[in-house]
Amino acid sequence: MAQYLLKRLGMTFAVVLLILLFLAVVPHLIPGDPVENILGPRATEARITQVRVEMGIDDPVLVQAGSFIWSAAQGDLGRDFATNRPVTTILAQAVPHTMALAFASLGLAVLLGIPFGVLAATKPDSLLDRFTSVLSVSFITVPSYVMALFLLLLFPIWLGVLPATGTGSFSDPLNYLRHLILPSAALAITWVGYFARLVRASMLEVVGSNYIRVARAYGLRERVIHYRYALKNAVIPSVAIMGVALGNLLGGAVFIELIFNRPGLGKLALDAISARNFPVLRGAILMVALLFVVANLVADLSYRFLDPRIRVEEKST
């Protein structure tokens, strides 16, 4: 296990390094001059040249890349071109909102998707199974932004029961949760369907295993067999894709944060793109990428911990 952990950490370090290399050349891939956007059309050539030198934009690409990677390794992601604030300070304000949205969506997807899948698997080929299958496939095919617009129309406008935009404050947890319900539901809807379909297929496969037949031969009730023995092994594949799900949710949060006007990483990145604010853009992309890589690493290690068959195979080789 220790050897595998070191191997995975090495791969994670390599991925992070490649991400940093990509982000180092991002300013040279996006058209437009950030200095002209900051100073405006009336700025003189001398002033533009001066600001470009101060920002280091005139340095060679390799020099800029090396400087960015070295500074990022020390926790310095530069300063906002517009306000001259440290990018890390700006990210510290946006990251909690995005993480709250992503984790709330993942939790909602797991809490709804797994019971749907188990319910369908306990009654295969029944009317209940067909209904849950149609429902889960419908969830998968509905884009999150479409569901977000539908929820906005239904709850805040027609029913007037939930806030439409904003986040509230962490100092008022209940109000913050009220602002989190609609965006997390809109973002989670696709993964509710994925988890339901995956758990159903895994449950049906596990129920046909030999140890389940032995449990039935001992006279155990079907409820005990399904929920105590089969479910424990059936959810293991779901753990394996939770890292992918979290990364997908972080990416989908871009549109949801715009629709619900949440000040998270997605909205921060899009505002930075429109302003050609490269330090903020690189910081936002780097933070999303790091969260995605860490989530996949944790999911991979959890999968190996939960499935004893992998450990047995390692000892036999």
Q: How confident is the model at residue 185, as a pLDDT?
A: 93
> Is 107 within a domain?
yes
Residues 151 and 251 in one domain: yes
pLDDT, average across residues 261-278: 83
> Is 88 within a domain?
no
Of residues 316 and 125, more confidence is placed in 125
> Is 118 within a domain?
yes
Q: How confident is the model at residue 69, as a pLDDT?
A: 82
* Domain finish residue from 43, 73, 103: 73
Query: What would the pLDDT profile of 199-249 be if each residue is shown by its tens digit?
Result: 888 888 887 777 778 777 877 787 777 777 777 777 777 877 877 788 788
Residues 165 and 312 in one domain: yes
Residues 276 and 143 in one domain: yes
Residues 44 and 137 in one domain: no
Query: What would the pLDDT profile of 193-209 be if each residue is shown by its tens digit?
Result: 999 898 888 888 887 77
> Is 87 within a domain?
no
Q: Rounded mean pLDDT of the chain?
A: 81
Residues 204 and 265 in one domain: yes
Residues 153 and 63 in one domain: no
With cut-offs at 50, 70 and 90, classify the pLDDT of residue 183: very high
Q: Which residues of 99-111 are buried (b: 16+ CB within 10 A; e: fewer)?
A: bbbbebbbebbbe
Q: How confident is the model at residue 312, as a pLDDT?
A: 44
Indicate the number of domains in the chain: 2
> Is 86 within a domain?
no
pLDDT, average across residues 44-70: 73
Please report, for the domain that includes residue 150, its CATH number: 1.10.3720.10
> Is 284 within a domain?
yes
Whether the pLDDT of residue 137 is over 80: the answer is yes
Query: What would the pLDDT profile of 31-44 be if each residue is shown by its tens digit?
Result: 666 666 666 667 77
Residues 254 and 150 in one domain: yes
Residues 61 and 189 in one domain: no
> Is 82 within a domain?
no
> Could you tell me the residue range of the domain that residue 38 belongs to?
2-73
Q: How confident is the model at residue 181, as a pLDDT?
A: 92
Residues 106 and 27 in one domain: no
> Is 78 within a domain?
no
pLDDT, average across residues 139-162: 88
Residues 12 and 117 in one domain: no
Residues 26 and 97 in one domain: no
Residues 11 and 148 in one domain: no
Q: How confident is the model at residue 62, as a pLDDT?
A: 77
* Domain finish residue from 73, 105, 128: 73
Query: What would the pLDDT profile of 70-104 be if each residue is shown by its tens digit?
Result: 888 888 888 887 787 888 999 998 989 988 998 99
Whether the pLDDT of residue 159 is over 90: the answer is no
